[in-house]
Amino acid sequence: MRAQCQILSEDERQRIHDESLKILQQVGVKFLSKRALKIMGDNGAKVDGDTGIAKIPAEMVEQALKTAPKSFVLGARDPSRDVALPRETAGYVLDLGGVFTRDFRTGERRYAILQDNDDAMRVFDEMALSSVVWPHSMAEGDTPNSSAIRLILSTFKHSSLHVQDEFGEPEEVPYIFEAMAAILGSEDAVKERKLYSVTYCTLAPLVHEGGMCDAYLDMIEFEAPILIYPMPCAGSTGPCGLYSNIAMGNAEALSALVLFQMAHPGTPLIFGDAAGSTDFASGGFLEGSPEMVLQTAARAEMARFYGLPTTQQGCTTDAKEPGPQAVLEKLLTTLPLVLGGADLIQGPGALETSGMLCLEQIVVDEEIAGLCKRMRDGVDVNEAKNYFDDIAEVGPGGHFMMQDSTLAACRSDEFYAPSLSDRHTAERWVELGRSDMYSKARERVEEILAAPQKNPLPDDVIGKLDDIARRADEELN
């Protein structure tokens, strides 16, 4: 008996779908890529060449839904960490989308450097529910046009998980696929294993970027998966109502689905969402609000409505430092997604509205994920768990501490044992040094970083990746 959470009824899902089709047909979507606009026009959209707006008929959406794969595997450098979509239990995506880091040694908020990215990859690799990594957003240095490539290559070196990032221009694409061929040994293996996927964020409201769009139209020839990730903010870049903001984000996602399926039928797509809500005091984007997770959980249900894999923004917070607000908001924005059956949840490791990496937060978020999974697993009512005989044997007034079933249960998954939360008596807690979850998380991070890296790449492959990075520096800058 699994615990469940449902935001939308079946009728409400159909209403959002119908409203999304209405937006696509009557309002349309703007494409800043002439190549994308031509694809849309050639396949039945009503295109205005002057404005770049394509109005998309329902028939195109229906055709795209028919050709989009309903399941596929995100390959990992370590094949035992491959991620098959859809999933039974939510996996997690390391969120390094921000440009800041909370320095692990000093606590200072500063711009991230490459070492921060590499450390985060090693820490997240050790987490049980880790599935996919996003590299850090680095401040531009001496080689700004190739810095993203260097970052992705370094992530391949330091993580054994599936890597997901984004391209800004088509010129970047060949370097990453050459790197994957170096890691896997052949170009054919690149298509088969799918070590790398990309995030495609539409620009709310209802716009597709030019350079990124063209890059991904090149990239789908390699059969790389694409995460479609609208980010409409209710009250600023989206309408100030959750229902309409959900429908508009869904329309943006469907427009991307249509584009990539028309360009290359069968392209693996993840139907995601990172909707936010507006802080009406400042106009800022909020990720730790209940309104945020109501929207992302609803969009996860729309993904299931279409039979598509899903990644949703969650495990997020607007807190500026580790502490109670971060834990409260991250639990709030994780549990509904887990109970609703989201495949992947993107957010662990980040504070400050996904703007700042915090290494110890990765470990705390692992505990939040474990608690949410236990809630999702629910109550096992199989006959093997019926302990009537124990009840009869113990009888009124007894206790069950010495029953064989109790001894077995205390070591089972039925009773979650946290690694960070303290359950000692107050006296024992004082004797042990009054530790809290963040101090324990820091100790875990220190242990991981002090140990040798697990599953490193061979030296010859590292040399090939370094050569690719040097060539990108010379050719792109």
For the residues of 308-330, what is the DSSP string, one character each?
A: ---EEE-S----SSSSHHHHHHH
pLDDT over 60 (residue 179): yes
pLDDT at residue number 295:
98
- From the options 3.60.15.10, 3.90.180.10, 3.40.50.2300, 3.20.20.480, give the CATH code of 65-377: 3.20.20.480
Residue 54 has pLDDT above 70, yes or no: yes
Six-digit token pair at 205?
A: 């409201």
Res 36 pLDDT > 80: yes
- Region 315-327: mean pLDDT is 98
- pLDDT tens, 130-165? 999 999 877 556 677 888 899 999 999 999 999 999
Q: What is the pLDDT of residue 169?
A: 83
Task: Report pTM.
Answer: 0.95
The interaxial angle of helices 114-125 and 147-158, nearest 10 deg, is 30
Q: Two tokens at 1? A: 């008996």
pLDDT score at 281 = 93
Answer whether residue 1 shows pLDDT above 80.
Answer: no
Determine the residue type at 180. Answer: M
Indicate the burial class of 305 (C-beta count within 10 angstroms; 0-12, 13-18, 19 or more). Answer: middle
Q: Kindly list the domain boundaries of the chain, sorted by start residue.
A: 10-60, 65-377
With a cut of 60, say whether residue 414 has pLDDT above it: yes
Tokens of 18: 């119908």
pLDDT, tens digit (0-9, with 9 covering 90-100), for 243-282: 999 999 999 999 999 999 999 999 999 999 999 999 999 9
Could you tell me if residue 30 is left (phi over 0), alpha (psi between -120 and 50 degrees) or otherwise beta?
Answer: beta
Residues 6+ apart with CB under 8 A from 104: 119, 359, 360, 442, 445
